[in-house]
């Protein structure tokens, strides 16, 4: 089979970009899992929006921080790790990056490890003037049975 | 310790190729998990073969589609996510790509998340003339205890 | 938003390096999971150190091999897979690579899959003169609840 220059991904999704996005999420999730709410919110644009699986929605960092603080009691004494997989990256028309991924939330309490139901997430990432990535929007959906 | 130009991986396994392969699997698994059987089969070569952990084998897209349709009842009402990890990529003599990886299958039914036993998979990927990747063969093995 | 040359990661953490490190771990973990103790120890520097979550510490390959052999009985009949996620890579002042990641250990025994509590790991990787990566140190920590 002849080798071709064409690739499965758009030429602009380079290995450098893919590694940069994985690194961005690795830092963002460490903040979430450390309950560093303000640090986590700083990885979103000031007007960043999140739509949660239960339909809840926050717009902007203040609403995000308030909602996360309200949920804190659920995380006391619980060690959480958000895991991501199967990242798909595409360049959007306005120059932003659309990134979709699977996510599992593992929680250790006492001696066991348990998992929340699985989710699929669709993010839009943008670059601030200095060049660092920020999340402009996040839509979290419960993983649901395929339909046939 | 002196820095060297030599790397742990063959020079041909670049970050671009690694990201391209991860993207290929991210798309392929979304089709599997959405029960998009025909779309999933389209990511295999027309003569693509799969050997399953239980010894079952399909050769070609028609056999694959028929076998997947026969298994559909197990997936009704079950939300599935196939997770991949530890991808190892090597260039094969004929220009194809040998890719091996760990896989876990997470399933949500009602309120809980459960996992099938773990598997290790060995794929051979090739490029069609247009350049997109396709799976030419897949061997799925149950993860078994190490031997000493 | 203006596109910038600046990126979220230091310019030296390229896609090629990130893929190389993922490949290094994919090979190292296959050896661990296959109970290839000597092969696993060969992926560490001769003086490589490991600090375990329970406080145990080994220094050098001989101590590592002895400690792993002592733990072997726990792995008889158990199929293990170590999974890694959220790799963070940074260049250290002496030219070594600091790599941190999440890890889950999945174990199949009989028909089920179970997980050990989750861990976070901090490695230092260096290159031997030939250029291949080796682990110089590894600190394994139990994932603990965030503090607020």
DSSP string, A113-133: EEEPPPEEEEEEEEE-TTS-E
A19, pLDDT greater than 60: yes
Q: Is C12 exposed, middle or buried (0-12, 13-18, 19+ CB in 10 A)?
A: exposed
Would the CB atoms of C8 and A19 count as touching at under 8 Å?
no
Predicted confidence band of residue A112 (pLDDT cuts 50, 70, 90): confident
pLDDT at C144: 83
C111, pLDDT greater than 80: no
Q: Are B114 and C109 in contact (CB under 8 A)?
A: no
Paired strand residues for A124: A98, A137
Size of interface A-B (CB pairs under 8 A): 117
Calpha distance B50→B58 (Å, rounded)? 5
Predicted confidence band of residue C80 (pLDDT cuts 50, 70, 90): very high
Q: In this predicted structure, which of A24-33, A86-95, A107-116, B90-99 has the lowest mean pLDDT?
A: A107-116
Q: Is the Cβ of C129 closer than 8 Å to some Cβ of chain B?
A: yes
Predicted confidence band of residue C35 (pLDDT cuts 50, 70, 90): very high
- What is the pLDDT of chain C when averaged over all its residues? 91
pLDDT at B13: 87
Return the higher-pLDDT residue of B5 and C46.
Answer: C46
Altogether, the residues listed in chain C come to a count of: 148
Instruction: Give the sign of the dihedral formed by CA A90, CA A96, CA A98, CA A99.
Output: positive
**DSSP alpha helix (H) spans, chain C:** 15-33, 37-41, 61-71
Calpha distance B122→B138 (Å, rounded)? 6
Tell how strand B97-109 and strand A57-59 pair up. Answer: unpaired
Predicted confidence band of residue C8 (pLDDT cuts 50, 70, 90): low
Q: Are C51 and C138 in contact (CB under 8 A)?
A: yes
A1, pLDDT greater than 80: no
Q: Is the Cβ of B147 closer than 8 Å to some Cβ of chain C?
A: yes
Q: Which residues of chain A are within 8 Å of residue C147 when distances are taken between CB atoms?
A: 34-35
Calpha distance A125→A104 (Å, rounded)? 20
pLDDT at A8: 57
**Closest to B13 in 3D by CA, of B74, B98, B85, B78:** B98
Task: Count Cβ neighbours within 10 Å for each residue of B23-57 and write b for 16 or more, e otherwise.
Answer: bbbbbbbbbbbbbebeebbebbbeebbbbeeeeee
In the predicted model, what is the mean pLDDT of residues A101-127? 92
pLDDT at A127: 96
Predicted confidence band of residue A144 (pLDDT cuts 50, 70, 90): confident
Q: Which residues of chain C are within 8 Å of residue B104 when distances are taken between CB atoms?
A: 81, 83, 106, 113
Would the CB atoms of B14 and C17 count as touching at under 8 Å?
no
Q: Are A134 and A126 in contact (CB under 8 A)?
A: yes
Tell how strand B57-59 and strand B44-51 pair up. Answer: antiparallel
C34, pLDDT greater than 60: yes
Q: Are A144 and A55 in contact (CB under 8 A)?
A: no
pLDDT at B112: 79
pLDDT at A145: 84
C3, pLDDT greater than 90: no
H or E element in which residue A82 lies: strand A79-91
pLDDT at A43: 98
Which of B8, B116, B146 lies at the smallest CB-CB distance from C23? B8
Paired strand residues for B138: B50, B123
Predicted confidence band of residue A67 (pLDDT cuts 50, 70, 90): very high
Q: Are A12 and B16 in contact (CB under 8 A)?
A: no
A100, pLDDT greater than 70: yes
pLDDT at A12: 66
Distances (CA, A) of B62 to B27, B37, B41, B42, B68: 20, 11, 8, 11, 10
Q: What is the dihedral of CA C56, C60, C61, C64, to 10 degrees?
A: -10
Predicted confidence band of residue C11 (pLDDT cuts 50, 70, 90): low
Q: What angle do CA A77, A80, A86 make, to 5 degrees?
A: 170
Q: Which residue of A has its CA nearest to B22?
A: A86
Q: Is C147 exposed, middle or buried (0-12, 13-18, 19+ CB in 10 A)?
A: exposed
B neighbour chains, 3+ CB pairs within 8 Å: A, C
Q: Which residue of B has its CA nearest to C38?
A: B148
Calpha distance A58→B30 (Å, rounded)? 28
The rounded Cα B76 to chain-centroid distance in angstroms is 22
pLDDT at C110: 75
Would the CB atoms of A117 and B127 count as touching at under 8 Å?
no
Would the CB atoms of B18 and C14 count as touching at under 8 Å?
no
Instruction: Give the sign of the dihedral formed by CA B3, CA A14, CA B84, CA B45.
Output: negative
Calpha distance B141→B84 (Å, rounded)? 14
Q: How far apart are the first and last CA of chain A?
A: 35
In the predicted model, what is the mean pLDDT of residues A92-120? 92
Calpha distance B71→B65 (Å, rounded)? 10
C1, pLDDT greater than 60: no
The rounded Cα B11 to chain-centroid distance in angstroms is 23
pLDDT at C83: 98
Per-residue pLDDT 10s for chain B (148 aa) are: 333 344 555 556 899 999 999 999 999 999 999 999 999 999 999 999 999 999 999 999 999 999 999 999 988 889 999 999 999 999 999 999 999 999 999 998 877 799 998 999 999 999 999 999 999 999 999 988 877 6
Would the CB atoms of C106 and B115 count as touching at under 8 Å?
yes
């Amino acid at each position: 089979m002849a080798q071709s220059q064409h690739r499965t991904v758009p030429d602009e999704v380079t290995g450098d970009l893919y590694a940069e996005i994985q690194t961005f999420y690795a830092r963002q999730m460490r903040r979430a899992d450390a309950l560093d709410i303000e640090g986590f919110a700083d990885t979103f644009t000031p007007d960043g929006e999140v739509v949660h699986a239960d339909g809840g929605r926050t717009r902007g960092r203040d609403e995000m921080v308030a909602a996360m603080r309200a949920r804190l009691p659920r995380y006391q004494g619980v060690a959480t790790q958000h895991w991501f997989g199967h990242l798909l990256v595409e360049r959007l028309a306005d120059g932003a990056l659309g990134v979709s991924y699977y996510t599992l939330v593992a929680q250790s309490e006492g001696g066991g490890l348990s998992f929340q139901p699985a989710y699929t997430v669709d993010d839009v990432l943008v670059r601030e003037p200095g060049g660092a990535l920020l999340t402009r929007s996040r839509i979290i959906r419960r993983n649901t049975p395929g339909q046939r």
